[in-house]
Structure 1
Amino acid sequence: MPREFKRSDRVADALQRSLANFIRTEIRDPRVGMVNVNSVSVNRDMANAKVYVTVVGAETDEEAEASVAILNKASGYLRNLIAKDLMLRMTPKLQFFYDFTAVHGQQLSSLIDQAVAEDNAHHSDDSGKEE
């Protein structure tokens, strides 16, 4: 019977939980702000992990990229904490990336809401002219 989940997927889930906790509790730099760890992908050889994050409350992409740069500088410290927490044979090197999908999703949602509102206004104008 084949396995349902690969080891790299299980390690990625454990890394995501640990990183979310350690970023919240151990990173004291106020420039980082509130960070959501959206996903983690680990290579098959468990050497590297890509961590995709969003920064809550960042008004510009530059602020979010600055937070990601700080996290990349603290990646060695976070890796050390994770090694103690998860007791893996080899702890992956962490590389943080800003995840634009949430921002783009909000922009698309607002565009759809705007289009629906304009369509409703257009239909209400048409029904008023016929009467």
Structure 2
Amino acid sequence: MRKNSIKNTRINGEVQKELSKIIREEIKDPRIHPMTSVMAVEVAPDLKTCKAFISVLGNEEAKQSTIKGLKNAEGYIRRELARTLNLRNTPEIRFILDESIEYGVNMSKLIDDVMMKDAKTSQPDQEEKSGDGREE
């Protein structure tokens, strides 16, 4: 099975859906932040390993404790995946903290700040032009 094949894409989607369901509904570890989401899953073509990209809405301490809690519950999560998914092999899961959403929000905020500053500096020029062009 190739990495970008339709079968691999379908398996990635199923593993992501089941993994997010397990994290949301079945794990009761207090270290895992309630606002945790599975952003993407990459299952290796041989179904032996899996990278799960996790996003946590919270401070740095909440992110680190969530990753520790997920790594601690890895055996349980893998067992539940094996029970719910009908795969030849159940992949070994590696949880990776995904900060792309936070990075995107930060970049968007910086762009908005620059646009606001640009709008404030160009406003007085427009008022002067509109005031000079009138004749009564």
Same fold (TM over 0.5): yes
Report how far residue 87 of structure 1 moved: 2.0
* 1:49-95 CA distance string (max 9 Å, x none): 00001112x1x223212201211111110000010001212100011
1:16-35 to structure 2, matched below 5 A, reads 16-33=16-33, 34-35=35-36
Report how far residue 9 of structure 1 moved: 1.9
Return the alpha-carbon distance in structure 2 between the equivalents of residues 97 and 39 of structure 1.
10
Gaps of 5+ in 2: 132-136
**What percent identity do the matched residue pairs reach?**
30
Gaps of 5+ in 1: none
Return the alpha-carbon distance in structure 1 between the equivalents of residues 20 and 87 of structure 2.
18
What's the counterpart of residue 52 of structure 2? 51
Kept after mapping to 2: 8 A contact 1:8/1:46? no
CA-based RMSD = 1.5
TM-score, with structure 1 as normaliser:
0.89
What's the counterpart of residue 13 of structure 1? 13
State the one-letter code of the partner of 1:16. Answer: Q
Aligned residues: 126
Question: Does 2:108 match 1:86?
Answer: no
TM-score, with structure 2 as normaliser:
0.85
Return the alpha-carbon distance in structure 2 between the equivalents of residues 89 and 45 of structure 1.
9
State the one-letter code of the partner of 1:6. Answer: I
Kept after mapping to 2: 8 A contact 1:39/1:53? yes
Return the alpha-carbon distance in structure 1 between the equivalents of residues 56 and 46 of structure 2.
29
Report how far residue 129 of structure 1 moved: 4.4
What's the counterpart of residue 118 of structure 1? 117
What's the counterpart of residue 134 of structure 2? none
Return the alpha-carbon distance in structure 2 between the equivalents of residues 126 and 63 of structure 1.
47
Return the alpha-carbon distance in structure 1 between the equivalents of residues 31 and 128 of structure 2.
56
State the one-letter code of the partner of 1:72. Answer: K
Question: Does 2:107 match 1:108?
Answer: yes
* 1:20-50 CA distance string (max 9 Å, x none): 1110111111221221100000111110000
Kept after mapping to 2: 8 A contact 1:82/1:91? yes
Return the alpha-carbon distance in structure 1 between the equivalents of residues 49 and 124 of structure 2.
58
Instruction: Give the SS at the match of 1:45.
Output: coil
